[in-house]
Amino acid sequence: MTARDRFSRWVPDRLAPLVSGAQFGQFLSVGAVGAVADTAVLTASTLLIGVPELWGKAAGIEVAVVLMFLLNERWTFTDHGAGGWRPLLARLGKSHLVRSGGVAVQLAVFWALTGPFSLQFRLGGTDLWFLVASLVSIGVATLINYVFEGLFTWELDDATTNEGVSAD
């Protein structure tokens, strides 16, 4: 019995389609692009424009959410969902609704790490702890977003497998 088989025994049937290493890898790759976009917006808005960190983080999250949706739509979950503008916009709205839980977790973790549990990380005389806090909050929200996006936005189930992604 492989490690995957042992792990799969503990996964409820509804979550089984999410146990695709390749698909999760694609999701993480898209998430890395989103993390870069989020971090770029946060850094630019906070350090260059002077926006408060939490507002800069919220702006970065929104840019990342739209970018990641488009990448997931065209790559990770390309074989899922009906074609056309209306279904695409419906999935975008559903994605925002589904990701709201991950966004709330991400903002709460970011707030906690930049507020009550704030540390300092100085580089060149500038405290960059908010960037560390941002990356931690992104990591915490990633798993939540993968599960809920797969189940609700692209409605993965055993009957609809991604032909371009190996189940191994």
The residue extents of the domains of the chain are 20-153
Estimate the crossing angle of helix 21-43 against helix 53-71, to 10 degrees.
140
Rounded distance between C-alpha atoms, residue 78 and residue 27, angstroms: 12
Give Cα separations from 19 to 13, 104, 128, 144 (angstroms).
10, 25, 36, 14
| 8 pLDDT more than 60 | no
DSSP 157: B
pTM: 0.71
Burial of 120 (0-12, 13-18, 19+ CB in 10 A): exposed
| Residue 102 amino acid letter | G
In terms of DSSP H, where are the helices of 44-151? 53-71, 85-114, 129-148
Q: What is the pLDDT of residues 126-167, one digit of tens each?
A: 999 999 999 999 988 988 887 777 777 666 664 444 444 333
- The confidence score (pLDDT) of residue 98 equals 81
pLDDT bracket for residue 9 (50, 70, 90)? low
pLDDT exceeding 90 applies to what percent of the chain? 38
